[in-house]
Structure 1
Amino acid sequence: MSADKLQVWADTFGRRAGALPGAHVPWLDSLRRQAFERFMSEGWPTPRQEAWHHTSLAPLAAAQFEEGSAQEGVADQVRALVAAHTGHWLVFVDGAFDASLSRLGSLPEGVTIQATSEAWGGHADTVHALYGQAQDGHSTSALNLALASDGALVSLGRGVVLEQAVHVVCAVSEPRAAHFLRHLIQAQAGSQATVIEHYIGLPDAANFRHAVTRLQLDQDARITHLKLQQESPLAWHLGEIEATQAKHSYFASHSVSLGARLARHDIATHFQDERCETLLNGLYYVDQRRHVDHHTLIGHLKPHCVSHESYRGIMADASHGVFTGRILVAEGADGTDAIQRNDSLLLSRLAKSDARPELEIYADDVKCAHGATVGQIDPDSLFYLRTRGIEEARARDILIYAFAARSVARIPDESLRRHVEGAVRRLLPGGDLLEAA
């Protein structure tokens, strides 16, 4: 890695570190410096590393980002989104909490929803416990830890059921800036909630966003998490979701990636006790020469846990989709029930898909299966629709949307499902054929 490319980030850290929220907190300041030293030592990941074999960050490492060139229109975009849905809203613009656009509403006792930049008073211990360590994840994770300017803190007390969803909106007004966010979600025993992360941007923004979400689910907790990435086709997006699950907990992750020239999503959950359950569901669409990469890890570390995983990708033009899903069944994790599947639809001869389902099993009494398919529109299905009087272009659109709709249908909450349906309808070929649920 060129020293000049890393020096840019050294300058950025030197300029930002003293002004970051929590800079006065000794443990956090020390942690940020440790993380940045790790990033400078390791540099950006390269395709020589197994986890990055199909994704090169060289163009991102060479890109130049600028601060302070804000454009208008972002506030109106956010207000329209907030007005269209109920729930509790935390809004971040250019990596900083915006109280004027946020709308928290009335919260039940035992629930904390606030920006981490405002949590150092009454919730510093919670932030400390969830924030992570300098050696976690890839070198990009360390860069995020070093430069994260803000993020959402969602803390649920024992037995609390939050009826309305928590919406975390991350918008940009600076079209060529780099921003880092770190979201923290704590679900104490028996609590339940739905958290939605929206990533939106201006149509021509060439910004870089890196977002890390860390979740802790205690016994019997249930969290549904939806990440909807709708950034500009010129933007860069790196995202990580890391969850730990205690006994009888349930975690559902729905990842919908529709934007960015390059998007990389690392999603992992670790079963710390028996009878945990998780659902990892994903849908991604890329066109032109865009690139999307999903890396998932499900750690079956204890007996009698269940995981269901399904990702669907649609690639058009000369785009590239990547899926790597690893299921790790540790020694002694008997009774594991794990299913993993990845399906890719190629809409052109130049579109490319790489699928790497992986099972790593060290226990005997398990039920595990995985599979992957890559193909084009089924000619028999197309012929069937043509025989029903549907013209060819329209028939293709129907089949494209039908392929995507199977992922959308796995979102159980009707309001969430409709929200994703709207995003898909505005983007996918054939999306206008969708009828509201």
Structure 2
Amino acid sequence: MASPRKKVTLEYVPPENVSNEPLLVQFTNGRLKPDNPPNFGYFRSTERDDVRKRHRRVLVAETERMQYVGRNFGPSAPRGNSLCKYMVGMLDKKTGKMRVYDTNSFTMRPVVHDKDQEKHKDETDLTYQEKNDRLVDAFGGAKKKRAMESRLRDKVKKEALETAMGAAVEDVMKTPEKLTGPEMDSGSTIPPHDKNAATPEDVYKVESIIPLEVFEALKDAAGDFVKATKEDIAKWRAEGRYSTFVLRQVSTMPLDEEARLTRSCHIMYMWYLLALHGLKYTDWRKRDLPLPDGMPLLVKQQLLGAFTVKADAARSRRAMPPRLKDKLLCYILVLGLIIEKFRLNLNDVQKDLKIAQKKLMTLTRAIGCEIQSKKADRGTDSDTQRMAVLPIPFKLPDPSRGKGRKGGR
């Protein structure tokens, strides 16, 4: 005898009134064992404004041995999701009322982790050129393979150059020139100066060339100059250990102990500037620049920060672009002026710098000096002796007057 029929009333519950919506779930590899229930995670799309995306859901299940993922969108979603609307009814037998809820259907698929999956790029992410390169590598002839390898090498060199240029620009932006004085211009190659100075000693101050902390670090390194004898100087000259300008200055040291130490520090810093300028192309390609032995670390860092830039961040190589090389030359000339009481013998400087006379004259005038020439004494290498003198009132040359007739029409 059939059981009597019961009257059931249906009540639809809108999704906005449901906190935990029921789900329809099936696993592709069969039913799970009840003694190992999975932990579920349910994720909703945050794209509320996009009609196509706001209903997307992801269900994740995890057991001790396996992980499962199901989606109601995409290729792995059940085919009926886009054509059907799934609903679940929950019957209360006592009241005879069935509540009907909207739901989503999920097909849970096991996730297999490949240890080498990060090493292999997904085929869908490859560009047309990358796919073509794979075909050439697998089936191409020798000529095509050589062309591909050449193109890839050029690409690597271009990326390395862009990286090096970016690192150099970044280094320049991060390490502005820290100059102190009446006039400061981080883009200028000329040291800080006072245009309104009443004496040559007030135009260029040694503190703007050698910072105080660098001067203190030079005291130990300059000890050889402080106690140098005639025999030491003759030995250094025979060995070619120091430049002509440095040896001539060490030969005329003051007797006062404090003045002797100060002058020795100035001469030693001048030697470091000359050594930095004298580095050759092969020296710049080395990771550690061959600077003089015994140079204090603080002095080395200050010189490299002021007159060089990073050329290769990966290998810590540095370079000296033309603008910074001109800046270094100007600092050498100004420090030479200070050491020689603002009457600098350019013949010795040119011999040490090994630069063209025209270049030296141009930079000398650029720092505001006048050039006085006279017939040299007998026994000298040059027929003419040139002296750089700093006149008062101090005046820098007008850059616009340096343009020739070809500069414009």
TM band (smaller chain)? under 0.3
Q: Higher helix proportion, which one?
A: 2
Higher Rg = 2
Relative contact order (C-alpha < 8 Å, sep 6+): which is higher? 2
- With structure 1 as the length reference, what TM-score do the two structures score? 0.21
Higher strand share goes to which structure? 1
